[in-house]
Amino acid sequence: MSTERIEEFLSAVKSAFAANTLIKLKLGGYHGSEPDLKSVDVKKIVAKGVEKFSFTFHYKTRDIIKNLIQPEAIGHLRTALTDEFRSAQLATTELDVSFERNGDKVRLKRSEVAGRSAPSTDHNRAKNRPLSETNKPYLQALGITGKDGVVRNDAQDKFRQINKMVEIFAPLIQAIPGDSVTIVDMGAGKGYLDFALYDYLANVAHRPVGIVGVELRPALVSDGNATAAASGFEGLSFQAGSIMDYDASGADAVIALHACDTATDDAIYKGIAAGAALIAVAPCCHKQIRRQMEAGAAAPVLEGLLRHGIFMERQAEMVTDTLRALLLELNGYRTKVFEFVSDAHTPKNNLIVAEKDGRVGRDRDAILAQIADIKAMFGVGQHYLEGLLQR
Ligand SMILES: C[S@@+](CC[C@H](N)C(=O)[O-])C[C@H]1O[C@@H](n2cnc3c(N)ncnc32)[C@H](O)[C@@H]1O
């Protein structure tokens, strides 16, 4: 094993870290013992005045972030490059260094680059970035800021949540190819996400964007449209009506946050029917499946597990959303499920993110078998979304 070459690569990483020229380090070709680990991204952050390496471990269905100080991080990278990852790409403002390990042979390739700048390392920057300017009519209309444009004390939590949502949704939207992007938010309510996302995409990221919020309650729709006009958000509008009556064709992204019970399924169905590149839903109540599970047809082995109301509720949530993810996969989407806000804000904090990858019907028989097994186990006759997709 050429430890010299590994040390040479690590030395380039350390120099970039020290000189603030590190843009990104990516590790790939994982062949270690952790199931489902795919790749790792590493960047520099400064948190509470301390410089750290921030590792994002990308697993099949979730990401885990670990922030490490330099000696720990370099030790970790040394092990990773020696035993676990076959390739690594270091990007700095001045050079690209690629690392390839094949058996005991290690190959390094360096190439100089120009015209790049290093990203900000301020760990807190993202917290404020989407809505760093708070003197905005929509923030006042939504009750987040007062007349003075300052975030109200009792709205700090909501403000944090909105920023967090933009941090999660903006990169997903930005990953959709094309110039302009059309987003439909199903069950938009007051449109917190829509205003913030529109503001960020149009005014900070300068991505041409159209957002339509579909909402049953006409009063919320007219308030939303008035605020969008007062904000000069020409590409943001709200439309009164039900999700199922809305023609979503042409939508690049369909979103639904806490749309009630099967309204989430309506949104997923509309997204699939439109061939949307992104479908992202945060489900809320899970009554449709819970009622079927409560009817007592679940496998006898689950009796103890489903006896207590609170566990029944949690199981119903898992079964409902697992079936949703599988049905999305059956229709050509890659899915991830993760917590998108702290459960201190709401216990309904799972986000199902589905990105269309064109492999419609992949592993169809295996997915169908999984769906059938889960339904049989939990005594579920039909998931509401299945019915919609059979139309
Ligand atoms: C819990 S609120 C969430 C609002 C917003 N998405 C948010 O996260 O702040 C759910 C909203 O969905 C709307 N809704 C429920 N079912 C709907 C349907 N089938 N079509 C359109 N809107 C619906 C409700 O009127 C309500 O405003």
Residue 182: other Cβ atoms inside 10 A: 20
Instruction: Determine the pLDDT at residue 367.
Output: 94
Q: Which residue has the tokens 């997915």?
A: 367
Cβ atoms of 239 and 212 within 8 Å: the answer is yes
Instruction: Determine the pLDDT at residue 333.
Output: 94
Q: Give which of 54, 78, 72, 25 is closest to 126, Cα–Cα.
A: 54
| Top mutation candidate among 260, 264, 284, 341 for ligand 1, by most atoms within 8 Å of CB | 260
Ligand 1 pocket, 283 CB below 6 A?
no
Supply the residue whose CA is at minimum distance from atom 27 of ligand 1.
189
Domains, in order of start, for the chain: 3-112 (no CATH), 126-241 (3.40.50.150), 286-391 (no CATH)
Rounded to the nearest angstrom, the distance between the alpha carbon of 217 and the centre of ligand 1 is 8
Cβ atoms of 335 and 327 within 8 Å: the answer is no
For ligand 1, what atom is nearest to the CA of residue 256? 6
Strands 333-339, 253-257: pairing kind: unpaired
Q: Give which of 183, 259, 254 is closest to 215, Cα–Cα.
A: 259
What's the rounded Cα separation, in Å, for the pair 252 and 246?
A: 15
What's the rounded Cα separation, in Å, for the pair 17 and 50?
A: 13
Ligand 1 pocket, 189 CB below 6 A?
yes
Ligand 1 pocket, 195 CB below 6 A?
no
Ligand 1 pocket, 162 CB below 6 A?
no
Instruction: Determine the pLDDT at residue 123.
Output: 55
Q: CA angle at residue 299 from 295 to 300, to 5 degrees?
A: 95
Query: Cα-atom radius of gyration of the chain, to the nearest Å?
Result: 24
Ligand 1 pocket, 215 CB below 6 A?
yes
| Top mutation candidate among 165, 168, 215 for ligand 1, by most atoms within 8 Å of CB | 215
For ligand 1, what atom is nearest to the CA of residue 220? 27
Contact partners, residue 232, CB within 8 Å, separation at least 6: none
What's the rounded Cα separation, in Å, for the pair 303 and 281?
A: 30
What's the rounded Cα separation, in Å, for the pair 331 and 305?
A: 31
Total residue length of the chain = 391
Supply the residue whose CA is at minimum distance from atom 11 of ligand 1.
187
What's the rounded Cα separation, in Å, for the pair 131 and 152?
A: 14
Q: CA angle at residue 85 from 83 to 86, to 5 degrees?
A: 105
- pLDDT (tens, 9 = 90+) of the chain, 391 residues, equals 678 999 999 999 999 898 888 999 999 999 999 988 999 999 998 877 788 999 999 988 777 888 999 999 999 999 999 999 999 999 998 899 999 999 889 999 998 887 777 776 655 444 445 777 788 999 999 999 988 888 888 888 888 888 888 989 998 999 999 999 999 999 999 999 999 999 999 988 899 999 999 999 999 999 999 999 999 999 999 999 999 999 999 999 999 999 988 999 999 999 999 999 999 999 987 888 898 998 888 889 898 888 898 999 999 999 999 999 999 999 999 999 988 765 555 667 789 999 998 775 568 899 999 999 999 999 999 999 999 999 8
What's the rounded Cα separation, in Å, for the pair 230 and 368?
A: 49
- DSSP characters for 231-266? HT-TTEEEEES-GGGS--TT-SEEEEES--TTHHHH
Three-class SS of residue 300?
helix
Rounded to the nearest angstrom, the distance between the alpha carbon of 212 and the centre of ligand 1 is 13
Ligand 1 pocket, 259 CB below 6 A?
yes
- DSSP characters for 173-242? HHTS-SSSEEEEEET-TT-HHHHHHHIIIIIIS---EEEEEEES-HHHHHHHHHHHHHHT-TTEEEEES-
Instruction: Determine the pLDDT at residue 127.
Output: 47
Ligand 1 pocket, 263 CB below 6 A?
yes
Q: Which two tokens stand for residue 45?
A: 């952050």
pTM of the model: 0.70
- DSSP characters for 1-57? --HHHHHHHHHHHHHHHHTT-EEEEEEEEE-SSSTTEEEEEEEEEEETTEEEEEEEE
Ligand 1 pocket, 211 CB below 6 A?
no
